[in-house]
């Protein structure tokens, strides 16, 4: 019996230490299998029920370069995603993963996509938590798969009384919601996750930075073919060099820090009181122009906080704050009439958007048109010319918004066709509206016009998808 066991032991040992079987190599199968999770940035369906997201865009680009199809495996949580990788069922996990979390799972970190921070979030009206010692004895929630448990364990060496709860199936926003309701004293979360959700919880605040440099990566299973890992590295380097990484990041993350707490509290408090008065009017404009009524409402809030009688010192008036010239151009007889104002604002934005070259794609097309709504198309074209002169992409909002403030610099303003402009204000205008739109899109449903649209508006009835 002993002799038999000695003979069988190497076989048992090798079986226990066998390498994981990777998913089929896409260079041979022609199919890239990608694991992801549904989230506001990585992968989600937009208002037209089409897939979108940071991971979706970049992975689709990567696959297209190599002529591969993409099969998405969408899992409800990180634990399920990690299991797919360990079981050899995906080639890549494309979600917002930190390098530390990936290594902790025994997976291979891909190239760095961007940098984030690990934050400790608390309530403004909760216990004061301004330094590590304040965390002792507090009820703290940590996500199991986010790589933050290790950070807390390191902090515990300095704060022996530190303790925390590990949540295996919760999502970042769920923890923030429960913190807001008073279930916890603090939660540990990534900066990008907090920034996306902070609009809905104005009573929360950043109390401490747990770690200020976390690499966000995709994950590769053990046993991934070296050629695939090399191709992914080369692709990421190329996308960084060409500015695609930066522009894609800006599309999903670039605006989320613009609003302060009072801005967020303002729209959340006014939404149930003011918006119902004008919701139908925004939806009528949606039917006429095809622009999501929630985007039009976001513009109206940014312009007047939904006050139809708003008037600026410069004579701009109404809910959509139209100038006299714009009102005349749009056929408005009374700028203080909310229906006329909303309809004219929607038509004016449509006109600006349609005047841009066909090569300018959404959502950049709408963001650039919004900047023109604020500053005028002449100044917008000046900014795009400056962008091109600086060897950047004039059709990308991420690049144009970097150059708009230069319209206020004498060295540039003297050389532009339309001269000086407060271009930085246009950036604030657009980024604020993007945030207000995100908030309204969370709480308000898209408009679905009734059947039987007239021939004139049937073409425009499809809502512009910006999410």
Give me the sign of the Cα torsion angle 280, 282, 285, 291: negative
Contact between residue 217 and residue 130 where contact means Cβ atoms under 8 Å apart: no
Cis ω before 363 (30° cut-off from 0): yes
- What's the CA dihedral at 56, 57, 59, 64 to 10 degrees? 130
Q: Is 317 exposed, middle or buried (0-12, 13-18, 19+ CB in 10 A)?
A: buried
Q: Which of 191, 287, 303, 431 is catalytic?
A: 303
Closest CA to 463 of 40, 45, 47: 47
* CA distance to 5, 374, 465, per residue, from 328 (Å): 94, 17, 29
- Distance CA(259)–CA(199), nearest Å, equals 8
Q: Which two tokens stand for residue 36?
A: 């992801």
> 278-299 burial string, b = 16+ CB within 10 Å, else e?
beebbbbbbbbbbbbbbbbbbb
303 is catalytic: yes
Residues 6+ apart with CB under 8 A from 275: 297, 306, 444
Q: Which residues are catalytic?
A: 303
């Amino acid at each position: 019996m002993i002799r038999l066991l000695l003979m069988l032991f190497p076989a048992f040992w090798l079986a226990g230490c066998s390498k994981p079987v990777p998913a089929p190599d896409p260079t041979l199968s022609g199919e890239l299998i990608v694991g992801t999770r549904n989230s506001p940035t990585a992968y989600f369906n937009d208002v037209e029920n089409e897939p979108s997201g940071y991971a979706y865009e970049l992975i689709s680009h990567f696959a297209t370069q190599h002529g591969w199809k993409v099969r998405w495996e969408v899992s409800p949580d990180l634990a399920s995603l990690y299991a797919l990788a360990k079981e050899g069922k995906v080639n890549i996990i494309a979600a917002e993963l930190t390098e530390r979390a990936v290594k902790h799972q025994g997976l291979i970190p891909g190239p760095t996509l961007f940098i984030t921070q690990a934050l400790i979030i608390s309530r403004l009206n909760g216990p004061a938590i301004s330094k590590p010692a304040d965390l002792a004895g507090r009820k703290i929630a940590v996500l199991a798969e986010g790589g933050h448990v290790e950070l807390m364990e390191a902090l515990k060496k300095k704060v022996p009384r530190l303790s925390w709860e590990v949540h295996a199936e919760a999502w970042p926003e769920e923890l923030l919601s429960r913190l807001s309701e008073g279930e916890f004293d603090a939660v540990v979360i990534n900066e990008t996750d907090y920034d996306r959700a902070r609009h809905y919880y104005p009573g929360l605040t950043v109390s401490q930075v747990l770690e200020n440099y976390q690499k966000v990566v995709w994950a590769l299973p053990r046993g991934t073919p070296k050629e695939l890992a090399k191709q992914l590295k080369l692709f990421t380097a190329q996308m960084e060099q060409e500015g695609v990484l930066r522009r894609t990041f800006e599309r999903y993350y670039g605006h989320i820090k613009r609003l302060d707490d009072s801005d967020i509290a303002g729209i959340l408090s006014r939404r149930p009181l003011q918006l119902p008065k004008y919701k139908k009017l925004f939806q009528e404009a949606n039917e006429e122009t095809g622009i999501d009524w929630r985007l039009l409402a976001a513009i109206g809030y940014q312009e007047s906080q939904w006050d139809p009688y708003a008037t600026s010192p410069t004579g701009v008036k109404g809910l959509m704050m139209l100038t006299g010239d714009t009102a005349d151009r749009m056929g408005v007889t009374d700028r203080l009439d909310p229906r006329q104002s909303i309809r004219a604002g929607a038509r004016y934005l449509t006109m600006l958007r349609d005047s841009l070259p066909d090569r300018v794609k959404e959502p950049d097309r709408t963001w650039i048109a919004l900047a023109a709504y604020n500053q005028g198309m002449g100044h917008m074209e000046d900014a795009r010319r400056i962008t091109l002169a600086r060897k950047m992409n004039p059709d990308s909002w991420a690049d144009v918004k970097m150059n708009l403030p230069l319209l206020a610099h004498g060295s540039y303003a003297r050389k532009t066709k339309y001269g000086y402009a407060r271009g930085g204000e246009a950036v604030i205008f657009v980024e604020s509206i993007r945030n207000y739109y995100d908030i309204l899109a969370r709480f308000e449903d898209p408009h679905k016009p009734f059947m039987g649209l007239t021939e004139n508006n049937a073409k425009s009835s499809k809502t512009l998808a910006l999410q």
